[in-house]
Structure 1
Amino acid sequence: MYERYWLFKERPFDGICDPRFHCRLPGQYAITEKLRYALVDRSGCALLTGQPGVGKTALTRDFVRRHGGRFTHIAWLGQPYFGHQDLLRRLYLQLSADQAGSADALVLEHPGLLLEKIQHLFHAMASHVLLVLDNIQELSDPAAIGALKAMYEWGQLSLHPLNSVAGRAPQAGNEQGFRVSVLLVGQPVASQNLRQFAGFFESLTLRLSLPCLSREELSDYLRQRLQAAGAQQECFTEEAKDQMHRLAGGVPRKINQLADLSLLVGYVRKKSIVDADEILQAARELMLLDVA
C-alpha cells in the first residue's frame, strides 16, 4: 500500500521469513561460526536459545542455506510435538521414501522398531546427517529426549556397529564413519527442561543464546532490510530508531511490526521521513506501550 510512496520495490518489514531480507549482523557472526564448528565440522550437538521473536529460526534457516551442502541429508522438525512416537514417525518420513501410511502402520504394529529403522537409515546415508528440532521447548517427553540422546550417541561412534550388520566396511579415508549432528532450537525454558536429562544436557557441545539487537545493530538491521526492498533514501530519523529500540526491546519481530506500521502512518500523514511520533502511534495501535 505504501510501497510507491516510499519508493520501495516491496514492503521491507513483512513478517515472512524471506531469505532475501535476512540480515547478517556482526553480533551474530560468532554464533554462526560456533554452529559451523559444532555441526559442519562434526563436533557434536548444539542448543540455540533465545526469547520469542529474536530471530532463532531465521538464523537457523540462513545457516542451513549456507552450509546445507555439507550434509548428506537434513531433517527439520518443528512444533507441535505429540510425544515420542510422533517425533520418530515424522523423522522417519523425512529420512525415508516411505509414504505416511507405511510409517503409521509401522508405529501401530511394531512401535519399538521405528528407532531401529531410523538408525539403519542413518547408516544407509553414510556420511553426515543434520537434525534440526525447532521450538524444542515444546518437547518434554522423556522417551523422545531419550531417542534424541540415542541418535546423538550414534553420531559419536567412530565405527558404527551397523557396519558389521550391513556387511559394509568403512570407506577408505573415512575412519570416523558417518556422523549425526543435532541442532536444538528453542526458547530459554528449553535449556531448563533439558537440564532434567543431565546426561544429555551435559553432552551438548555448545549451548548458545541469541541476544536481542543493540541500538547500533538495530540501525544496521533497518538499513539492510530497507536496501533489500530498494529504498533510495533514509526512512527513519535517529529519534525514531531510539524510540523503536526502546519499545521493541531489540526484538526483531517487534521491530518489524513497528517499522512496517510506522511507515504506513508516515504515508497517511504524508511525511518525508518517519519520526518518533509515528513510532509512538504505531506502538499504540500494536498495544506495545503498556509493556515498554
Structure 2
Amino acid sequence: MLLEYWGLVKEPFINVPDPDFLFPSTKHEEALMRLLYVIQGRRGAAMLTGDIGCGKTLVSRTLVKELSPQRYDVAVVTSPILSPVQFLREIIYQFEGDKDNRINQRVDALHAINRRMITNYQSGKDTVVIIDEAHLVMEKKGILEEVRLLLNFQLNDRFLLTLVLIGQLDLEEKIKQVPALNQRIAIKYCLLPLTQKETVEYIAFRSKKAGAQRDLFSEEATQEIYHLTEGIPRRINSLCDLSLLVGFQEKATLIDEKIVHTAFAGVC
C-alpha cells in the first residue's frame, strides 16, 4: 500500500547494497574507478575507507558486478571475527565452496590458494580477493601478516592476486602497523559524506530508480534531511524511508520539513 500510495514499484531507501541504487556522485564514481584501475592493472592492492554508512559496501558490490566472471575469479570475505587460519579457509570457501573444507593447517590453506591463483593464471583469469569490514578482520595482527603474505604470490612481471581492503577510517592505522603491507597498497581512497547538493540529488535519484514520476520531497525537506543526517547515505535512507511512512499515515502528497522532523524523532 505504501509503494502504491507514492507511485513506486520498489522501496527506494532500503539499506541494502543494491548496485542498481549506487548514486553516481563524484566521490562514489572516483572510488569505483580507482578500485577498477588497481584490479585491471594488476597493481597488487587497494584500500577504500570511510565513515560508517558512507556506501563502502555498496561500492564493493558494484565493483563485483563490474568484474566479468569470464575474466576475474573473485572471493568476497565479509566475516569479521576470524583467526588467521579461519581467514585463509574463508578465502578458499569463497572460491570453491565446501570443496576444501577439510583444510585445517595454515600451510595447506596457503598452498590451496596458490593453486587457485596458478590455475586462474594459466586459464587467462585474474584472482581478486575483496575483504569487507577489513577494520574488524585486521583486529588480529596475525591476519595482517597473512594478508601481507598473499601479496607475495607473484611472478617476475605481475601479481597473481589483487587485494581490495574495505573498512572504516581506523583501517589505515591498522595497515600502517605492517609497513611491508602498507607499501604495497597502490591506491588508497577515503569515501566522504555527501554534500548538501549531492544529498538533494541522491534523494531524487533513488526515488526515480524506484519508479517515482514526480518529486516526493520538497526542497526544504531535502535540505533539512541533509542537516539531520550530515550527508551520510545510510542515515539519509533511514530518515527518508520513515518519512515516506509518516507521510503515508498523514495522507500527505509531498514530504515537507514537518514530516521529516516527525520521522527523525522516530529514528533517534
> Given the two structures, how large is their TM-score scaled by the length of structure 1?
0.85
Looking at structure 2, the residues matched to 128 and 236 of structure 1 have their Cα atoms a distance apart, in angstroms, of 45
Structure 1 CA distance for aligned equivalents of residues 128 and 243 of structure 2: 40
Distance 1:224 1:236 in 2: 12
Cα deviation digits, residues 35-55 of structure 1 (max 9, x gap): 121112212200100111110
Are the structure 2 counterparts of residues 178 and 26 from structure 1 closer, same or farther at C-alpha, using a change threshold of 3 Å? closer
Deviation at 1:17, TM superposition (A): 2.3
Residue 35 (structure 1) aligns with: 35
Partner of 2:260: 279
Conserved 8 A contact 1:123-1:178: no
Paired position in structure 1 for 2:180: 199
Looking at structure 2, the residues matched to 221 and 29 of structure 1 have their Cα atoms a distance apart, in angstroms, of 13
Deviates more, 1:143-152 or 1:235-244: 143-152
Which residue of structure 2 aligns with residue 256 of structure 1?
A: 237
Which residue does 1:120 correspond to in 2? 115
How far apart are 1:97 and its partner, in Å?
5.8
Give structure 1 regions of 4+ aligned residues with deviation exceeding 4 angstroms: none
Take 1:118 and 1:150, find their aligned partners in 2: how far apart are those partners?
Answer: 11
1:135 aligns with 133
Partner Cα separation in structure 2 for residue 68 and residue 145 of structure 1: 28
| Aligned-pair CA distance for 1:70 | 6.8
Residue 8 of structure 1: how far off its partner (Å) = 1.2
The unaligned stretches of length 5 or more in structure 2 are none
Equivalent in 145, 158, 168 of residue 187 of structure 1: 168
Which 5+ residue runs of structure 1 have no aligned equivalent? 159-175, 288-292
1:23 positional shift: 1.8
The one-letter code matched in structure 1 to 2:32 is: T
Partner of 1:63: 63
In the alignment, is the contact (CA less than 8 A) between 2:76 and 2:132 conserved in 1? yes
The answer to whether the aligner puts 1:74 opposite 2:74 as a matched pair is yes
CA distance 1:96–1:265, shift in 2 (3 Å): closer
Q: 1:80 to 1:177 in 2, by over 3 A?
A: closer
Structure 1 distance, partners of 2:164, 2:64, is 11
Evaluate the alpha carbon distance shift between residue 242 and residue 177 of structure 1 in structure 2; reply closer, same or farther with a 3 A threshold: closer
CA distance 1:31–1:227, shift in 2 (3 Å): same
CA distance in 2, matches of 1:70, 1:218: 36
Q: Describe the SS at the equivalent of 1:183.
A: strand
Equivalent position of 2:200 in the other structure: 219
Q: Please give the residue correspondences for 1:47-62 in structure 2 after superposition, counting only pairs within 5 Å.
A: 47-62=47-62
1:90 aligned partner, one-letter code: E
Cα distance 1:187–1:71, how it changes in 2: closer, same or farther (>3 A)? farther
Which AA in structure 2 matches 1:217? E
**Cα offset, 1:178, TM superposition:** 6.4
In structure 2, what is the equivalent of residue 145 of structure 1?
144
CA RMSD, Structure 1 to Structure 2 (Å): 1.8
Contact 1:96 1:121 (8 Å CA) reproduced: no
The residue matched to 2:162 in structure 1 has which SS?
strand
Separation in 1, partners of 2:110, 2:233:
38
Q: Deviations over 1:197-254 (max 9, x none)?
A: 1221122101110111111111221111111111111111111111100111111111
**Cα 1:264–1:152, aligned 2, differ >3 Å: closer, same or farther?**
same
Distance 2:252 2:187 in 1: 47
Match of 2:216 in 1: 235
Q: Secondary structure at the residue paired with 2:127?
A: strand
